[in-house]
Chains A and B, each alone.
Chain A
Amino acid sequence: MLKNPWKRRHIIESLVRIVMILSFLAVAGSLGLILWTIISRGLPALTWEMVTQTPKGGFYMGKAGGVLNAILGSLYLASGGTLLALLFSLPIALYLQTYLETSAWGRYVRLALDVLWGIPSIVYGAFGFTLMIALGLRASLLAGILVLALVELPIMTRAMDEVVRRMPRDLEQAALALGSTRLEVSLRVVTRQMLPGIVTAVLLAFGRGIGDAASVLFTAGYTDRLPTSLLRPTASLPLAVLFQLSTPYPEVRERGYASALILTIIVLLVSFGSRWISARLNKYTIR
């Protein structure tokens, strides 16, 4: 009855466990290193000025100013893109579930969405740029929002598709059995069941959108001014990081890390916020 640790199956089990632990450490370690890098290099340069001012003359050579233009620009771009993607993805997800559930078309639509999800965002950027040239448009907040919506759409739709798919069918029947109208079932029961998942899907897409540099590079452009119009170019945080890190001046590079830190903090806030919101909303959902 005594355990013999040198038996083949026990050896294999220990080996596999070691591999798992090492993989976990690699992932956790990378995250730690990334955070350490941007915090240790960015925190000293993260001043009040950084988040409250736009670049002044000579900013990119180390003189006064901040990246408020990029912070606001990124928030506008990601919010606009997320809102626009939401307008399309919720109906698509519901349509997929209600009408295309078992049909071949449903499979094609899901496949198309998965392919779109995998397309690198620089391709979306290039696509948007080509379209803008064809239409005679210039880089602008609006163009950036449109392209970000395209980037976010497949992520949001597939995430919502899963939410809609997990909706228990008995639930509708239970509400109907009490004499609910269809509208009451949708608004009071189905929405309540799906809302946490929808919120998570939206914030997931927002997080992806706000961190994306390649898609806004050609389409939204960059400017030192605050974004004031949909038709003018706007700055964004990922590009602020890119431009500042690629200069030879150490103080500007430090600001690049500080900008990265700001972006990371925003993304973390959004993802913790989404956790918090969905935990609260999830309290009553049926699993």
Chain B
Amino acid sequence: MNSHIQVRNLNVFYGKQQALKEINIEIPRQQITVIMGPSGCGKTTLLKSLNRFLELTDGTQISGQVLVDGQDIYASAVDVTEVRKRVGLLAQRPTPLPMSIYENVSYGMYIHQMRKDKREYKDAVRHYLELAGLWEEVKKRMHDPATSLSIGQQQRLCLARGLAVEPEIILGDEPTSALDPISSQHIEKKLLELKSQYTTVVVTHTLRQAKRLAEHVIFMYLGEVVEAGPAQEVFNHPQQERTRQYLEGLF
């Protein structure tokens, strides 16, 4: 397996409570990896260890390594803003910035000084809105507030905004759980279209979504990785009793 991310001996504590126990996983390059498991099992914690979001919560202790292309993102010499530029996040609920639709997409490119002039920014904004499948709906209202969009459109805007800083990795923290069915389908379709260009890691608690998206699966329970592997194998021939029970809907 050509792995893009390797997690080694990762332990995470919130205060005295251990949220992740000795996590050792590999995440394949340019595939969709789905993290699944019952609520409270540490899925989101694992996801947020990948873009160094855990440290935003006070009292979090992290040990172990997260290697992206062999480089430990927790090493002291690492620039956290560069980590987060390379590892984009699609949050549970769409969180547009208090700006226009255009500025929401250009903001990230702007702070990282990724384009030279206005023309280039304009073209790039269009490109990423097209990539997220939103351009046709917003091309005549680029300067309207982002909040004037529907929730589903806002989530696609957040996708475009995240893609615009040219990440290699996209994290999705239950990115469709706040959306209506049609908008959810939209986001899922986009993730599938983009998977050949980006390493994608999605947390979900719906098994059906996991089956639709996953090429690689990580099954977690009580802060531990129970089973991980190619989706076909895990779904059809689970090795662990716990996984089998979860897939059968027993908990």
List chain A positions with a Cβ less than 8 A from chain B.
168, 170-171, 173-181, 184, 188-189, 192-193, 283-287
- For B111, list chain A residues within 8 Å (CB): 178-181, 184, 188
- For A173, list chain B residues within 8 Å (CB): 53, 56, 91, 95
**Is B175 part of the contact surface with A, judged by Cβ < 8 Å?**
no
With A170-B95, A188-B107, A286-B147 in contact, is A177–B88 under 8 Å at CB? yes
A-B pairs with the 10 shortest C-beta distances?
A: A179-B85, A174-B95, A178-B108, A177-B89, A179-B84, A179-B81, A170-B95, A193-B98, A284-B145, A284-B98
With A177-B51, A181-B81 in contact, is A171–B147 under 8 Å at CB? no
- For A170, list chain B residues within 8 Å (CB): 91, 93, 95
Q: How far is B93's CA from A286's CA once the two chains are assembled, in angstroms?
A: 13
Q: How far is B93's CA from A283's CA once the two chains are assembled, in angstroms?
A: 21
The contact string, 1 if C-beta is below 8 Å from chain A, for chain B 104-118, is 000110011000000
The contact string, 1 if C-beta is below 8 Å from chain A, for chain B 74-108, is 00000001111100110101011111100000011
**Is B231 part of the contact surface with A, judged by Cβ < 8 Å?**
no
**SS class, residues of chain A in contact with chain B:** helix
Name the one of A175, A178, A193 contacting B85, with C-beta atoms under 8 angstroms.
A178
Q: How far is B56's CA from A88's CA once the two chains are assembled, in angstroms?
A: 28
- For B145, list chain A residues within 8 Å (CB): 283-284
**In this complex, what residue of A is CB-closest to B165?**
A178
Q: How far is B96's CA from A170's CA once the two chains are assembled, in angstroms?
A: 9
List chain B positions with a Cβ less than 8 A from chain A.
51, 53, 56, 81-85, 88-89, 91, 93, 95-100, 107-108, 111-112, 145-147, 158, 161-162, 165
Q: How far is B95's CA from A218's CA once the two chains are assembled, in angstroms?
A: 52
Name the one of A174, A193, A285 contacting B158, with C-beta atoms under 8 angstroms.
A174
With A184-B111, A188-B111 in contact, is A175–B82 under 8 Å at CB? no
Q: How far is B85's CA from A179's CA once the two chains are assembled, in angstroms?
A: 5
- For B161, list chain A residues within 8 Å (CB): 178
Candidate in B53, B97, B146 with the most chain A CB atoms within 10 angstroms: B97
Q: How far is B81's CA from A276's CA once the two chains are assembled, in angstroms?
A: 37
Nearest-neighbour CB distance to chain A for B120, whole angstroms, equals 18
**In this complex, what residue of A is CB-closest to B90?**
A177
With A173-B56, A284-B145, A286-B147 in contact, is A178–B162 under 8 Å at CB? yes
Nearest-neighbour CB distance to chain B for A105, whole angstroms, equals 18
With A188-B107, A284-B146 in contact, is A178–B84 under 8 Å at CB? yes
Name the one of A176, A188, A192 contacting B84, with C-beta atoms under 8 angstroms.
A176
- For A176, list chain B residues within 8 Å (CB): 53, 56, 84
Interface contact B158-A179, CB-CB below 8 Å: no
**In this complex, what residue of A is CB-closest to B108?**
A178
Besides A175-B107, A178-B107, A286-B96, 8 other CB < 8 A contacts?
A170-B93, A170-B95, A173-B56, A173-B95, A176-B56, A178-B85, A179-B84, A181-B111
With A179-B82, A188-B107 in contact, is A174–B97 under 8 Å at CB? yes
Nearest-neighbour CB distance to chain B for A163, whole angstroms, equals 13
Q: How far is B81's CA from A181's CA once the two chains are assembled, in angstroms?
A: 7
**In this complex, what residue of A is CB-closest to B144?**
A283
- For A168, list chain B residues within 8 Å (CB): 95
Name the one of B51, B97, B112 contacting A189, with C-beta atoms under 8 angstroms.
B97
Interface contact A287-B147, CB-CB below 8 Å: yes
With A181-B81, A184-B111 in contact, is A189–B165 under 8 Å at CB? no
Q: How far is B244's CA from A178's CA once the two chains are assembled, in angstroms?
A: 38
**In this complex, what residue of B is CB-closest to A176?**
B84
